[in-house]
Amino acid sequence: MKKIIAALLAALLAATPISAAALKVDNNAEIPKLVLDGTWENPFLDVAVGDWFYDGVMFAYEKGMMNGVGDGAVAPSATLTRAMMITVLYRNAGSPQASGSPFSDVGAESWYAGAAAWGSASKVVSGTDDGRFLPEAQITREQLAVMLYNYAKLTGKQMKTGGAAFEDSAEISPWAAEAMDAMTASGILGGDAEGRLRPKSSATRAETAVILKRFFE
């Protein structure tokens, strides 16, 4: 029986040769989105079920807070700039009309001009002593905490106080101490495996997505 089946298959293949045209790949074809857990249509090739940031990225993406960087990637290990972060909060606030940014390094035509103007007027963000916003600078974890803490005050969101001390709590800048305390006490910002907050480290896109989920849920 096996010999008969093999003979039939050989005859079938010989009768229907595969042409070069049939093997041609359409490079312009749309790559189908991946459905990883049956509920979320995940468009990112670098985000998988089981990743510690999976739920955070799903939340931030579905809420329109975070998009990919192209080629099906969200780049979880990449960092965010100050301009990107204030724009996330600005859009979440409904993108209210704002103009006349007080920052010397924010041009009127820049894509984040409205967000920076709103952030300053709403006291969500402040600049440097010399009047700059530093839009392209990577946002640190303590700067992120301050922006979110100020946004909480703006919107009336209740925050806890009396957060636990961390291994490197002494490294927190004085202007960020109150915000970092509230963020840690409220369970929004936590330490790493070694018990450090890393307040002056740049916040990655994965970290930010998780923090946004904890803050807005």
Residue 179 lies in a domain: yes
CB count in 10 Å sphere of residue 66 = 20
Residue 205 exposure: Cα atoms within 13 Å on the Cβ side: 21
- For residue 90, give its domain range: 79-216
pLDDT for position 39: 61
Residue 21 lies in a domain: no
pLDDT for position 164: 86
184-to-46, 142, 199, 212 alpha-carbon distances in Å: 28, 11, 12, 14
The token pair at 74 is: 């969200």
Three-state SS string over 156-174 comes to: CCCCCCCCCCCCCHHHCCH
The Cα 163–Cα 181 span in angstroms is 5
Residue 61 lies in a domain: no
Place of tokens 């009309």: 97
Residue 191 lies in a domain: yes
Q: Which of 23-27, 70-74, 100-104 has the lowest mean pLDDT?
A: 23-27
pLDDT, mean of residues 125-144? 96
The token pair at 210 is: 């998780």
Residue 56 lies in a domain: no
pTM of the predicted protein model: 0.80
CB count in 10 Å sphere of residue 131 = 10
Task: Give, to the nearest 10 degrees, the angle between helix 113-121 and helix 82-92.
Answer: 70
Residue 195 lies in a domain: yes
Residue 58 lies in a domain: no
Residue 26 exposure: Cα atoms within 13 Å on the Cβ side: 5
The Cα 25–Cα 45 span in angstroms is 20
Question: What's the domain count of the chain?
Answer: 1
Residue 142 lies in a domain: yes
What are the phi and psi torsion angles at 81 (to 5°)? -95, 165
pLDDT tens digit string along 30-86?
333 334 444 668 899 999 999 999 999 999 999 999 888 999 999 999 999 999 999
Whole-number average pLDDT of the chain = 84
Q: What is the DSSP letter of 139?
A: P
Say if CB 86 and CB 121 are below 8 A apart.
no
The Cα 22–Cα 185 span in angstroms is 61
